[in-house]
């Protein structure tokens, strides 16, 4: 084993091997992978091996398409078969909403250059005669769907990487990861010590434990998952060609052919988080005890959907764990707060997403940024708020919702309310409908009196439409208040502050007492953020952007700060704020603020004016707190708390 490497990848599952392959593909050959046992010793060996492009996030869907297209390439380079079966796949729709959802996916797919089609029940029966289409309205057909051999595929990535110069060290557990003053890492392993310029945590089922070695918490949790393989089924044998995959979201199941029988897996409601206190180091080559009771309802549904299953014998039952992040997407990229430490974990669909994860990480590490928008899998989308218990609750919710329709206006209920501002109780008493981002509750709108404070998720105009239109009208003609706690806030101070902001932001920086809008661009010209920058004087600036992106932005700032002369503090949770808007806003401001807020003293201008001012308490019991942060709703004057009317 060499003693120094440019990149050390920890973990030889499908993800670690894909990362290793992509680094070598882009010319970084001084790289190594360290695996505690044999390749595929974690979740990878017991995967069902299915792959597809379906993903609610368009960029993720495109990366899944990339992954599927990659298998031929690694087969050619490595000479190792991936055991590919490109049989196509159908996702059934049993409700009009599901049909809308599949239509939306289809539109995304076309935009991303993926060729999927909507098909009728008759066409479904032609493609998959074993499917009972009673109650089915249609389906999305994806010709790219298929399955493969998980072990062959992982070895194909690994061999291709080795052929391109990578080293793979097996039976060698990483015991410690220690940062060094020059930004490199010392990896203490069973076979000795390695110094690496970069570390990639691709430890899958053990990613939490490996993260702890570097003092970080990665928000992911393993869940148990079961699938069954049947004995030979005559209808399958007699079909002639291999049957396509059938995903039946209403039945929470996915099904495919395996030799002369079928494999069917379930994402059941009664699911179990696994290894809550940590993945044991001696786990790896065994399965978990099966639990058919847990999937009995889903199986009963499957017997109706696929009647051939009822008479089929069960050959084996697989119950294995694999990891999920709270929103089900991978955790990829540089870990905020740590230099040269990267994450490639939390991947719940390694054979649909592994290629995209490897590609993204390698591009990012080598070029400084990935070639497409990958925020949906950026490890920085979660912050400190994401505790162990929050993660576990959200991961369970995500598993249960694996086959639920994802609506564009949907707010998920688990672990809520989590963070709130002191104004939360007031909004709640006004029948607020809340949304949540980055763990923070924020008002989306106010439901009419007597109505449930709930926006019914839909692909069409929801029940909120008329109410929100009324709120907009009220702001247009009078005044409205917006709590802006769900904007992030950064304080920039120091003699070099202005010069530094000028470098990281596009646009002209404001004079003292003024504010401006400024996009933050990457060196390749991509939009990284949309900021409001206030010049508060005395070399002090406040920059506001998206609350949900605070860790993402802070990582960028830390990476681009000079050694001295500038300090950036994330004060998102320390400043509360309200925005008032509309023709009567100055009148409202004059009633609640001390000092002169007339047009002469506090002029309105396109670039904006900013000033520190002390507010009068609005009323008893309405605190203006010193801690907490800001955004969200429009409160029409008629619904303003009485003290501000
Ligand atoms: C029952 C089941 C069915 C599934 N079906 C599918 C499917 O059909 N399609 C699909 O795409 N996905 C499926 N999956 C999910 C898929 O298995 C995972 O997405 C994938 O295996 C994740 O791979 P990984 O490399 O991230 O993690 P892992 O496979 O867990 O690999 C991590 C590796 O890191 C090594 N490691 C850990 N710690 C250390 C250390 N300290 N030092 C050195 N090495 C270390 C481990 O030994 C292991 O080999 C299924 C999962 C299960 C459980």
Which pLDDT value is given to residue 601?
82
Nearest CA to ligand 1 atom 21: 44
In terms of DSSP bridges, do strands 167-169 and 31-34 run parallel, antiparallel, or are they unpaired? parallel
Residue 213 vs residues 131, 209, 236: alpha-carbon distances, Å: 49, 7, 49
* CB neighbour list of residue 553: distance below 8 Å, 6 or more residues apart: 488, 490, 520, 528, 529, 545
Q: Cβ atoms within 10 A of the Cβ of 623, count?
A: 13
Q: How far apart are CA 196 and CA 81, in angstroms?
A: 32
Distance (Å) from CA 34 to ligand 1 centroid: 15
Question: What is the number of the ligand 1 atom nearest to the C-alpha of 50?
Answer: 8
Distance (Å) from CA 167 to ligand 1 centroid: 20
Probe residue for ligand 1, chosen from 9, 10, 11 as the CB with the greatest number of ligand atoms within 8 Å? 11
Omega before residue 417 within 30° of 0, cis: yes
Element (H, E) at 499: helix 497-504
Probe residue for ligand 1, chosen from 34, 89, 205 as the CB with the greatest number of ligand atoms within 8 Å? 205
187: Cβ below 6 Å to ligand 1?
no
Question: Number of C-alpha atoms within 13 angstroms, CB side, residue 527?
Answer: 8
Nearest CA to ligand 1 atom 25: 13
Nearest CA to ligand 1 atom 2: 47
Question: What is the number of the ligand 1 atom nearest to the C-alpha of 322?
Answer: 53
Which pLDDT value is given to residue 407?
93
Which pLDDT value is given to residue 482?
87
227: Cβ below 6 Å to ligand 1?
yes
Nearest CA to ligand 1 atom 52: 47
325: Cβ below 6 Å to ligand 1?
no
Structure tokens at 173: 């557990």
pTM comes to: 0.93
Distance (Å) from CA 321 to ligand 1 centroid: 9
Question: What is the number of the ligand 1 atom nearest to the C-alpha of 213?
Answer: 41
Sign, Cα dihedral of 218, 334, 382, 574: positive
Closest CA to 361 of 389, 340, 381: 340
328: Cβ below 6 Å to ligand 1?
no
Q: DSSP secondary-structure letter at 338?
A: S
Structure tokens at 474: 């009220």
* CB neighbour list of residue 22: distance below 8 Å, 6 or more residues apart: 358, 359, 361, 362, 363
Which pLDDT value is given to residue 638?
39
Nearest CA to ligand 1 atom 3: 47
In terms of DSSP bridges, do strands 432-437 and 567-570 run parallel, antiparallel, or are they unpaired? unpaired
Distance (Å) from CA 1 to ligand 1 centroid: 24
10-residue mean pLDDT profile of the chain (645 residues): values are 97 98 98 98 95 87 93 98 97 96 92 91 97 98 95 98 98 98 98 98 98 98 96 95 96 96 95 94 91 93 96 94 96 97 98 98 97 95 94 97 93 96 94 96 96 95 96 95 92 96 92 93 91 94 96 96 96 88 91 84 75 54 33 35 30
52: Cβ below 6 Å to ligand 1?
no
Q: Cβ atoms within 10 A of the Cβ of 598, count?
A: 11
Closest CA to 2 of 194, 201, 199: 194
Contact 24, 164 (CB under 8 A): yes
Contact 546, 520 (CB under 8 A): no
Instruction: Give me the DSSP letters along 387-434.
Output: -HHHHHHHHHHHHHTTTS---TT----TT-S-B--TTHHHHHHTTEEE
pLDDT digits (tens, 9 = 90+) for 425-480: 999 999 999 999 999 999 999 999 999 999 999 999 999 999 999 999 999 999 99
48: Cβ below 6 Å to ligand 1?
yes
Q: How far apart are CA 423 and CA 430, in angstroms?
A: 11
331: Cβ below 6 Å to ligand 1?
no
Nearest CA to ligand 1 atom 4: 47
Q: DSSP secondary-structure letter at 625?
A: -
Which pLDDT value is given to residue 628?
28
108 exposure class (CB count in 10 Å sphere: 0-12, 13-18, 19+) = buried
Nearest CA to ligand 1 atom 14: 47
Write down how long the chain is.
Answer: 645
Closest CA to 341 of 194, 188, 186, 201: 201
Contact 222, 279 (CB under 8 A): yes
Residue 96 backbone dihedrals phi, psi, to 5 degrees: -60, -35
Question: What is the number of the ligand 1 atom nearest to the C-alpha of 204?
Answer: 27
Q: Count H helices and E strands in the chain, helices first.
A: 15, 28
Nearest CA to ligand 1 atom 31: 13
Q: What is the chain's percent helix, strand, coil content, to nearest 5?
A: 30, 25, 45
Q: Cβ atoms within 10 A of the Cβ of 572, count?
A: 25
Which pLDDT value is given to residue 620?
41
Which pLDDT value is given to residue 596?
85
Contact 148, 82 (CB under 8 A): yes
Q: How far apart are CA 73 and CA 311, in angstroms?
A: 40
Angle formed at CA 207 by CA 202 and CA 213, multiple of 5 degrees: 105
């Amino acid at each position: 084993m060499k003693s120094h490497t440019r990149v050390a990848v920890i973990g030889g599952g499908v993800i670690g091997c894909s990362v290793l392959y992509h680094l070598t593909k882009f010319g970084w050959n001084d790289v190594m992978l360290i695996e505690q046992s044999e390749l595929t010793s974690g979740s990878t060996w017991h995967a069902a091996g299915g792959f597809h492009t379906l993903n609610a996030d368009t960029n993720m869907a495109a990366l899944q398409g990339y992954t599927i297209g990659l298998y031929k390439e690694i087969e050619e380079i490595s000479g190792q078969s991936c055991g590919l079966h490109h049989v196509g796949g159908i996702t059934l729709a049993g409700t009009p909403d599901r049909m809308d959802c599949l239509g939306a996916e289809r539109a995304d797919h076309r935009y991303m250059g993926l060729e999927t089609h909507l098909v009728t029940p008759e066409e479904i029966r032609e493609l998959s005669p074993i499917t009972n289409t009673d109650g089915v309205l249609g389906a999305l057909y994806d010709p790219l769907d298929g399955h493969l051999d998980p072990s062959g595929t992982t070895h194909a990535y690994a061999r291709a990487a080795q052929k391109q110069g990578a080293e793979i060290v097996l039976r060698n557990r990483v015991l410690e990861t220690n940062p060094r003053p020059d930004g490199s890492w010392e990896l203490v392993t069973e076979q000795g010590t390695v110094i690496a310029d970069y570390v990639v945590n691709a430890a899958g089922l053990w990613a939490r434990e490996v993260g702890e070695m570097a003092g970080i918490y990665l928000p992911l949790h393993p869940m148990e998952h079961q699938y069954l393989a049947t004995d030979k089924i005559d209808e399958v044998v007699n079909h002639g060609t291999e049957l396509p995959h059938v995903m039946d979201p209403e039945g929470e199941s996915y099904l495919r052919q395996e030799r002369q029988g079928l494999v069917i897996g379930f994402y059941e409601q009664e699911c179990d988080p696994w290894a809550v206190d940590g993945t044991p180091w001696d786990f790896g080559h065994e399965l978990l005890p099966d639990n058919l009771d847990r999937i009995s309802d889903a199986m009963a549904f499957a017997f109706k959907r696929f009647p051939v299953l009822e008479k089929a014998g069960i050959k084996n039952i697989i119950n294995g764990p694999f990891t999920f992040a709270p929103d089900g997407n991978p955790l990829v990229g540089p870990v905020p707060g740590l230099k040269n430490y990267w994450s490639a974990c939390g991947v719940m669909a390694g054979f649909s997403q592994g290629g995209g994860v490897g590609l993204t990480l390698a591009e990012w590490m080598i070029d400084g940024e990935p070639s497409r928008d990958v925020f949906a899998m950026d490890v920085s989308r979660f912050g400190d708020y994401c505790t162990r218990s929050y993660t576990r609750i959200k991961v369970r919710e995500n598993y249960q919702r694996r086959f639920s329709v994802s609506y564009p206006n949907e707010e998920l209920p688990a672990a809520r309310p989590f963070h709130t501002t002191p104004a939360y109780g007031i909004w709640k008493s006004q029948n607020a409908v809340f949304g949540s981002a980055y763990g923070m509750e924020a008002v989306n709108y106010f439901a009419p009196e007597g109505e449930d404070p709930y926006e019914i998720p839909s692909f069409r105009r929801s029940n909120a439409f008329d109410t929100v239109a009324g709120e907009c009208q009220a702001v247009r003609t009078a005044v409205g208040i917006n709590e802006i706690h769900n904007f992030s806030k950064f304080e920039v101070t120091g003699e070099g502050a202005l010069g530094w902001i000028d470098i990281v932001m596009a646009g002209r920086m404001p004079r003292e007492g003024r504010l401006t809008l400024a996009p933050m661009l990457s060196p390749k010209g991509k939009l990284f953020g949309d900021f409001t920058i206030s010049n508060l004087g005395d070399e002090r600036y406040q920059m506001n952007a998206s609350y949900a992106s605070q860790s993402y932005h802070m990582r960028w700032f830390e990476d681009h700060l000079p050694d001295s002369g500038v300090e950036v503090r994330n004060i998102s949770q320390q400043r509360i704020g309200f925005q008032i808007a509309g023709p009567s806003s100055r009148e409202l401001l004059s009633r609640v603020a001390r000092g002169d807020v007339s047009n002469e003293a506090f002029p309105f201008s396109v670039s904006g004016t900013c000033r520190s001012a002390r507010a009068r308490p609005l009323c008893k019991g309405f605190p203006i707190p010193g801690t907490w942060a800001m955004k969200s709703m429009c409160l029409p004057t008629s619904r303003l708390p009485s003290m501000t009317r």
